[in-house]
Structure 1
Amino acid sequence: MLKGLGNIGDMAKMMAKAQELQGKMAEAQERIANIEAEGEAGAGMVKARVSGKGELRGLSIDPSLFVPEDREAVEDLIIAAIRTAQENAAEAAQAEMAQAAEGLPLPPGMKLPF
C-alpha cells in the first residue's frame, strides 16, 4: 500500500547533503570576497590589486611612467595589470570553490555557478 515510502530516508540524506553543500558554498563565497590578487605589467611598474570577485581595489603606478608622450603605453600597462590581477583572482576563486565541493558526487566537468 505504501510502496514508495522506502525512498524517504534517501531523500532526507539528499536534503542534508544539499544543506551541507549550501553551507560550504556560502563559506567559500565569503573567503573569495576576502581574497586579494595582484597583477603587474611593465616589469612591475604598474600593479593592480583586485578582490576575489574581480573588483579593482588598488592601483600603483611607478612615477617614472608619468611622461606625457608615454600616456598610451601607460594606459596599456594599466589594462594589462588589471587583466592579470583579475585572472589571478578568478583562479583563486575557482580553487576555493573546488575545495568547498571536494568530496561531493558532482558529474565530471561540472562547473559550479560561482
Structure 2
Amino acid sequence: MLKGLGDIGKMGGIIKQALEMKSRIEELKQKLADEIVEFSVAEEVTVTVNGNLDVLSVKIKEELLRNEDVDTVEAILCAAVNGAVGKARDMVKAKMTELTGNVDIPGLM
C-alpha cells in the first residue's frame, strides 16, 4: 500500500463538506430574494431592496418634489438607495456568517 493514502478519506470528507456548503449557500441565495429591507432619508424618500440587492420600490413624498431643487432630490435619492443597499448587504453578510460559521469565503456574494 502506498504511504499517505489514508489521507484520501479525509480529503473526500472535506470535499463532501464543501459540496454541502455550496448547496446550502445556493439555497440561501434563493431565499434572499424574499428578504426585504427598507431605508428612509428624512422620511421623504424610502427605498425597498431585497437580499439580492434588487431595488423593489422607491417612494418620494410629493412635498419634496415641490419644495426642493433637482440637485437636492437627487442627493436624497442617492443617499436612500445607498442606505438600502448597505442595509441589505449587512443582512446578507450576517446570514452568510451564520451559515458558514464566520469563515470568510471570497466571492460568495
Q: TM-score range by the shorter chain?
A: 0.7 to 0.9
AA of the residue aligned to 1:24: R
**Deviation at 1:8?**
1.9
Given the two structures, how large is their TM-score scaled by the length of structure 2? 0.85
Q: In 2, Cα distance between the equivalents of 1:80 and 1:54?
A: 15
Match of 1:34 in 2: 34
Kindly, what percent of the aligned residue pairs are identical? 28
AA of the residue aligned to 1:98: T
Residue 85 (structure 2) pairs with residue 86 (structure 1): yes
Q: List alignment gaps of at least 5 residues for structure 1.
A: none
Contact 1:32–1:96 (CA under 8 A) maintained in structure 2: no
SS class of match (2:49): strand
Residue 38 (structure 2) pairs with residue 24 (structure 1): no
Counterparts of 1:1-114 in structure 2, within 5 Å, are: 1-41=1-41, 43-67=42-66, 70-102=69-101, 106=103, 110-113=104-107, 114=109
Q: List alignment gaps of at least 5 residues for structure 2.
A: none
Report 1 or 2 for greater relative contact order, CA contacts < 8 Å, sequence distance ≥ 6.
Answer: 1
Contact 1:52–1:90 (CA under 8 A) maintained in structure 2: yes
Contact 1:97–1:112 (CA under 8 A) maintained in structure 2: no
Cα distance 1:36–1:16, how it changes in 2: closer, same or farther (>3 A)? same
Q: In 2, Cα distance between the equivalents of 1:35 and 1:112?
A: 22
Given the two structures, how large is their TM-score scaled by the length of structure 1? 0.82
The two structures, once aligned, show a CA RMSD in angstroms of 1.9
**Deviation at 1:53?**
2.5
Contact 2:47–2:55 (CA under 8 A) maintained in structure 1: yes
AA of the residue aligned to 1:48: V
Deviation per CA, 1:67-91, whole angstroms, max 9, x where unpaired? 2752221111111111100000000
